[in-house]
Amino acid sequence: MKKKIVAANFKMNKTDEDIKKYFAVFLDRINGLRNKTSFNDFDAELIFAPPFTSLSETHKIIEPYMDFIKLSSQNIYSEKSGAYTGEISIDMIKSCGCVYSIIGHSERRNIFKESDELIGKKIEAVYSGGGMTPILCVGENLEIRKQNGQEKFVENQLAVGLNYIKGRNIPSLIVAYEPVWAIGTGMPIKADDGEAMHGFISDYIISSFSIGELRVIYGGSVTEANIKELMGKPHIDGVLVGGASLDPQSFHNIFKLAAAQ
C-alpha cells in the first residue's frame, strides 16, 4: 500500500539556528501524537526539504525518526562533478542524508530559466545516485488553465522531464502537480479539479513508463483549511507545502489532518 506524503519545502528560508528551533517545537508535537496514536495507523511519510546549508543539521535532528521522516534537497545539478561553480551534485546531497530531491520546481523553471530538457537530465542524475527518488514538479500557469490547456501542457512537461528514463524499470517516482497560479497565492485548486489532474497524470505515466511505485502529490496554497478535502480524493497521494510549512505548529496540524484521513 502506498504511503501518503506530507512534504515541506522551506525554499530560501531558515538558518541552522532556525532549524533547531523549528524541530524542537515540531518533534515535541509529533512525540505527543505518537504517544496517543499508533503511527502505523497513519500510513504517512513526512519529507523535509530545507536549504542545502541545513541538510546535514536537519538530518542529524530527524535521524531518530527516519522510519517516517525523510530528507529531500530542493534541487541538484545534472552533472556528477566538475567545473560548475555554485552547483550541488546528487552524491553531495546523498552524503547529507537525502533520499529525495525536488526537481523542476516552478521557481527553478521561471526565475532560473530551467528548461524541460535540463530537468530531464536532472531526473536521470537523481536515479544515477542509487536509492534516490525525484519529486518532479509540473504545473500550468493561469493563462494555460483559462484556455483549458493544462492536460496537454503537463503531459509535455512529463514526457520531456522523464524522457531519459523511458524504457527503464524505475522503482519509485513522485510527481508534484503544482499549478503555478496556486503557488503562494492563497488560491488553491478546487479539490475536484485537482483530482481530475491527478487522475490524468497517473494514467499518462502508468501507460507510458515502467514505474514500480508512483505517487502524485499536490502543491499550491495547501493549509489546515483545505488539507482534509484534498487528501480525501483518491488520486491525491499527498501534498507539498511551501508557506504553511514554515511554522512548525501549522505544519504539524496539516500532517495530523492529512495522516488521519
Closest CB 222 distance from ligand PEP, rounded Å: 5
Query: Which residue number, 209 or 238, has a Cβ lying nearer to ligand PEP?
Result: 238
**Exposure string over 3-31, b if 16+ CB within 10 A, otherwise e:** ebbbbbbbbebbebeebeebbeebbebbe
Query: Which residue number, 163 or 250, has a Cβ lying nearer to ligand PEP?
Result: 250
Q: Which three cell numbers stand for residue 155?
A: 503531459
Query: Which residue number, 1 or 111, has a Cβ lying nearer to ligand PEP?
Result: 111
Q: Which three cell numbers stand for residue 245?
A: 510549512
Name the active-site residue from 59, 105, 198, 252.
105
Q: Which amino acid is at 208?
A: S
**Among candidate residues 128, 205, 199, 129, the one with its CA nearest the CA of residue 161:** 205
DSSP 132-146: -EEEEEE---HHHHH
Query: Which residue number, 61 or 182, has a Cβ lying nearer to ligand PEP?
Result: 182
Answer whether 7's CB lies under 8 Å from 135's CB. yes
Q: Which three cell numbers stand for residue 62?
A: 530527524
∠ CA 60-215-244 to the nearest 5 degrees? Answer: 55
Exposure of 143 in the CB half-sphere (CA atoms within 13 A): 0
183 lines the binding site for ligand PEP (CB under 6 A) = yes
Closest CB 258 distance from ligand PEP, rounded Å: 13
180 lines the binding site for ligand PEP (CB under 6 A) = no
Closest CB 48 distance from ligand PEP, rounded Å: 13
Query: Hey, which residues between 16 and 55 contact ligand PEP (CB under 6 A)?
Result: none
- Is there a catalytic annotation at residue 57? no
Which one of 109-117, 192-200, 206-214, 219-227 is the stretch in contact with ligand PEP (CB under 6 A)? 219-227
Which one of 76-84, 118-126, 208-216, 234-242 is the stretch in contact with ligand PEP (CB under 6 A)? 234-242
Query: Which residue number, 92 or 244, has a Cβ lying nearer to ligand PEP?
Result: 244
Give the footprint of ligand PEP on this chain (CB under 6 A). 9, 178, 183-184, 219-222, 240-244
Residues serving a catalytic function are 105, 178
